[in-house]
Amino acid sequence: MTGPARVAALPSWLLTQTAAHAHRLIVERLSAIGARGYDYRVLASLDEHGPTSQAELGRGTGIHLSDMVGCLNDLEAAGYVERSPDPADRRRNVVTITPAGRARMERLGTEAALVQDDLLAPLSPDERDQLAALLARLLAHHDARA
């Protein structure tokens, strides 16, 4: 077997190549409706966990604080989130999803599900579940946030 053939069989190489395709698919689909991947992560996190500080939102979603500020500025300008001073600490902002933000999150979730179907098309439902479980296990092992 030659060098490149061996490289192409490495799980790390396969994950990287698949991740690149996944990223391209999600960027294309969300861009078509004027959204970014961060938008869905932020709105879904707020919907699931409720109002929270910008810093906690960044840590929980894995979005760097400098990127979080820009994302929240855009989401707030579109009416999808609201920021208000934290009553317990006026130096912090609390971010809350709006009803329009929930509707946007649902739309983005539908688009993300379509991307999953496209990306995982060659796999059966059981294989998709197995792949997701294995990837979650790997991520939990390597991710300090897990």
Give residue-wise pLDDT tens across range 31-68: 999 999 899 999 999 999 999 999 899 999 999 988 99
Instruction: Kindly give, in sequence order, each residue whose CB lies less than 8 Å from that of residue 80, ignoring residues fewer than 6 positions away.
Output: 39, 43, 97, 98, 100, 101, 104
Report CA-CA distances (Å) from 129 to 95, 100, 111, 116: 33, 31, 19, 12
The domains of the chain, with CATH numbers, are 25-121 (1.10.10.10)
125 vs 5: which has the higher pLDDT: 125
108-140 per-position pLDDT tens digit: 999 999 999 999 999 999 999 999 999 999 999
Q: Where are the beta strands (DSSP E) in 10-137?
A: 52-53, 81-86, 89-97
Strand partners, 52: 95
pTM: 0.83
Q: DSSP class of residue 92?
A: E
CB contact at 8 A, 47 and 105: yes
